[in-house]
């Protein structure tokens, strides 16, 4: 146990004393504190008072049979403090925490949809993940949910208010962006109320491609789950697989061999470069800069080729596995990769110059969609969005996984908080990632690249975090001692970031909506899982 954890526990026991029922520290930098329902708000308050940059990572629900367990995962000083509490199954009610942490809104709504837990005092109890016609009393992630013959049980729905075109007697026009819209490649809906060209109100609605990955994971073995979670997101697939594997490794108490850690690092960073370049090109398209888009995507191709060279696949890497990685790198491939990376680095400095100088690019992104530091912390945003608002937060530094504790790199932050800053963070991170890969390839330890692990995972639970290209990716896995997991919780970075879009779009120009939206790097197949 480190000092940070000790400090947190001391503060908690000073304030709450007898109210703490149980304390566990199964993993380094992870603290589990069990309290009664109702006390969870006091515990949260203690944590928030202690660290103003504390934020919520996720709320996990677990069906225990008689009761439903709720876990509030709070990140503070690079540690995850989990406050766990239980509510009864029949009358699943608990006080909302959105007044303490506004960023918890979506997390609570998700639990309401999937577990039927009602959060008292919650601002707008609407469907978020499930469709409007989903049966009222069917909560898919409860263990007894019967999801057969669903067509017969569906509810009747009428047109939603926000789908009607004019409102407020005609001065405001409702513009619906999505589920199909040329600016958004993935299905999600934002109902905008616009007054001329000014956006007055934004209502997000996600869940159009909710596939129930968390439920499906319970029906598959751990090995099968690796390939399932990879398919949550095509772009950051390596991160999902690595995060799942290291979480399961934590339950088993095994550690991947050093070579595997470095190999994972290389693939994760390649994944980051390719994701960032994809986004930057896309940003160019959104602000009508097609040439930039074409150039960026052209230069992204070598990265995909590198992925293929190293992992055998261009997109879905299928690289990490429990206990290591599935393939080794051949030594003769490494010089080829280093040459490509050197070329890419040169190009990146050109693009950075472009972003610094081009007048139209700056006009469209500077002072657009400003999210200041206070709001960023309030809304618990993660990844490049947070770093663009001067929040120094990076799981690679906060809680080093893979080989990041041995590789020197710096966290890129910008303090403007606008679209430009968020895109610049990504441009700089690509250069930083290239250095990380070069370092990892130079210092590749020898030895085996995987260890064999049993198929059956001992009972237990673990949390895992990975800095995906879009920010902190969070996994919670609970094992019941069989080959099938009891619960797999995935919280993707976009799920945490999407709330900030409402903040930055309101009051802005309608032409800025795509420009500021794309700077968040939203990924809705991640978000909907």
Nearer to another protein, 167 or 448 (CB): 167
Q: Collect all residues with Cβ–Cβ distance below 8 Å to 312 and sequence separation of at least 6.
A: 318, 327
Looking only at residues 193 through 252 of this chain, which bind another protein when binding is defined by CB under 8 A? 197
Give the binding-site size for another protein (rule: CB under 8 A).
Answer: 31
The minimum distance between CB 269 and another protein, in angstroms, equals 26
The minimum distance between CB 212 and another protein, in angstroms, equals 31
Q: Is 352 in the site for another protein (CB under 8 A)?
A: no
Q: Collect all residues with Cβ–Cβ distance below 8 Å to 432 and sequence separation of at least 6.
A: 409, 410, 412
Nearer to another protein, 126 or 298 (CB): 298
- x/- mask, another protein, residues 307-346, rule CB under 8 A, reads ----------------------------------------
The minimum distance between CB 424 and another protein, in angstroms, equals 15
Q: Tokens standing for 214?
A: 């968390």
Output phi, psi for 366, to 5 deg. Answer: -70, 135
Q: Is 524 in the site for another protein (CB under 8 A)?
A: no
User: Is the alpha carbon torsion for 242, 247, 249, 255 positive or negative?
Assistant: positive
Nearer to another protein, 284 or 323 (CB): 284
- x/- mask, another protein, residues 491-520, rule CB under 8 A, reads ------------------xxxxxx------
Edge to edge, what strands does the sheet with 172-177 contain?
A: 166-167, 172-177, 189-195, 198-205
Nearer to another protein, 143 or 298 (CB): 298
Q: Is 175 in the site for another protein (CB under 8 A)?
A: yes
Q: By CB under 8 A, which span of 58-66, 353-361, 441-449, 497-505 interacts with another protein?
A: 353-361
Q: By CB under 8 A, which span of 221-229, 278-286, 372-380, 400-408 interacts with another protein?
A: 278-286
Looking only at residues 176 through 195 of this chain, which bind another protein when binding is defined by CB under 8 A? 181-183
Nearer to another protein, 58 or 287 (CB): 287
Q: Is 358 in the site for another protein (CB under 8 A)?
A: yes
Nearer to another protein, 99 or 195 (CB): 195
Q: By CB under 8 A, which span of 145-153, 252-260, 356-364, 463-471 interacts with another protein?
A: 356-364
CA-to-CA distance for 87 and 147, rounded, in angstroms?
Answer: 23
Residues in the chain: 529
CA 465 distance to own-chain centroid: 9
CA-to-CA distance for 479 and 217, rounded, in angstroms?
Answer: 12
Looking only at residues 359 through 388 of this chain, which bind another protein when binding is defined by CB under 8 A? 360-361, 363-364
CA-to-CA distance for 97 and 115, rounded, in angstroms?
Answer: 17
Among 76, 96, 98, 174, binds another protein (CB under 8 A): 174
- x/- mask, another protein, residues 279-308, rule CB under 8 A, reads -----xxxxxxxxx-xx--x----------
Cβ neighbours of 127 (radius 10 Å): 16
The minimum distance between CB 388 and another protein, in angstroms, equals 19
CA-to-CA distance for 439 and 444, rounded, in angstroms?
Answer: 8
Q: Tokens standing for 451?
A: 């260890």
Nearer to another protein, 166 or 349 (CB): 166
User: In sequence order, what DSSP letters do the residues of 402-456 get, joined into one string?
Assistant: TTTTTS-------SS-SHHHHHHHHHHHHHHHHHHHHHHHHT---S-SB----SS
User: Is the alpha carbon torsion for 162, 164, 168, 174 positive or negative?
Assistant: positive
Q: Of 137, 11, 52, 36, which Cα lies nearest the Cα of 95?
A: 36
- x/- mask, another protein, residues 13-52, rule CB under 8 A, reads ----------------------------------------
Nearer to another protein, 359 or 408 (CB): 359
CA 115 distance to own-chain centroid: 21
Nearer to another protein, 36 or 294 (CB): 294
Nearer to another protein, 136 or 357 (CB): 357
Q: Of 499, 501, 491, which Cα lies nearest the Cα of 74?
A: 491
Looking only at residues 425 through 454 of this chain, which bind another protein when binding is defined by CB under 8 A? none
The minimum distance between CB 280 and another protein, in angstroms, equals 13
Burial 318-346 (b: 16+ CB within 10 A, else e): bbbbbbbbbbebeeeebeebeebbeebee
Q: What is the CB-side half-sphere exposure of residue 325 using CA atoms within 13 A?
A: 27
Among 173, 304, 315, 483, binds another protein (CB under 8 A): 173
Burial 169-181 (b: 16+ CB within 10 A, else e): eeebbbebbbbeb
The minimum distance between CB 350 and another protein, in angstroms, equals 14
List residues near another protein by CB under 8 A. Answer: 165, 173-175, 181-183, 197, 284-292, 294-295, 298, 358, 360-361, 363-364, 509-514
């Amino acid at each position: 146990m480190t000092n940070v954890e000790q400090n947190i526990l001391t503060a908690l026991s000073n304030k709450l004393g007898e109210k703490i029922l149980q304390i566990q520290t199964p993993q380094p930098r992870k603290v589990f504190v069990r309290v009664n329902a109702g006390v969870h708000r006091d515990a949260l308050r203690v944590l928030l008072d202690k660290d103003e940059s504390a934020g919520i990572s996720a709320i996990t629900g677990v069906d225990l049979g008689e009761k439903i367990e709720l876990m509030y995962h709070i990140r503070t000083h690079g540690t995850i403090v989990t406050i766990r509490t239980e509510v009864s199954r029949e009358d699943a009610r608990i006080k909302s925490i959105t007044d303490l942490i506004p960023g918890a809104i979506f997390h609570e709504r998700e639990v309401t949809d999937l577990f039927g837990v009602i959060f008292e005092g919650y601002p707008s109890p609407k469907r978020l993940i499930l469709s409007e016609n989903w049966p009222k009393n069917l909560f898919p992630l409860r263990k007894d949910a019967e999801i057969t013959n669903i067509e017969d049980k569906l509810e009747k729905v009428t047109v939603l208010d926000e789908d009607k075109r004019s409102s407020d007697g005609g001065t405001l026009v409702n513009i619906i962006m999505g589920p199909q819209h040329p600016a958004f490649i993935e299905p999600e809906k934002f109902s905008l109320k616009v007054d001329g060209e000014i956006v007055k109100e934004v209502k997000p609605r996600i869940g159009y491609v909710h596939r129930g990955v968390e439920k499906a994971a319970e029906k598959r073995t751990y090995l099968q789950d690796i390939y399932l979670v990879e398919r949550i997101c095509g772009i950051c697939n390596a991160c999902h697989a690595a995060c799942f594997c290291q979480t399961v490794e934590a339950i088993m108490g095994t550690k991947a061999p050093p070579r595997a850690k470095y190999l994972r690092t290389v693939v994760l960073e390649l994944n980051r470069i390719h994701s960032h370049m994809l986004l930057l090109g896309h940003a160019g398209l959104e602000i009508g800069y097609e040439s930039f888009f074409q150039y960026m995507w052209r230069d992204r191709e070598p990265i995909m080729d590198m992925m293929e060279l190293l992992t055998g696949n261009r997109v879905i890497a299928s690289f990490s596995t429990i206990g290591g990685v599935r393939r080794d790198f051949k030594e003769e491939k490494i010089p080829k990769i280093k040459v490509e990376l050197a070329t890419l680095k040169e190009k990146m400095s050109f693009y950075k110059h472009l972003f610094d100088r081009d007048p139209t690019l700056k006009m469209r992104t500077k002072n657009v969609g400003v999210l200041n530091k206070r709001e960023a912390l309030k809304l618990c945003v993660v990844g490049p969005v947070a770093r663009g608002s001067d929040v120094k937060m990076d799981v690679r530094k906060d809680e080093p996984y893979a080989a990041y504790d041995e590789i020197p790199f710096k966290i890129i932050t910008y303090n403007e908080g606008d679209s430009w800053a968020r895109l610049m963070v990504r441009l700089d991170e690509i250069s930083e990632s290239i250095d990380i890969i070069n370092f990892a390839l130079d210092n590749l330890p020898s030895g085996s690249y995987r260890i064999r692990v049993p198929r059956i995972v001992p009972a237990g639970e673990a949390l895992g975090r990975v800095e995906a290209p879009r920010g902190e990716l969070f996994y919670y896995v609970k094992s019941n001692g069989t080959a099938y997991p009891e619960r797999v919780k995935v919280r993707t970075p976009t799920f945490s970031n999407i709330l900030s879009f409402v903040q930055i779009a309101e009051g802005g120009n309608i032409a800025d909506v795509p420009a500021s939206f794309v700077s968040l790097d939203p990924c809705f197949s991640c978000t909907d899982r």
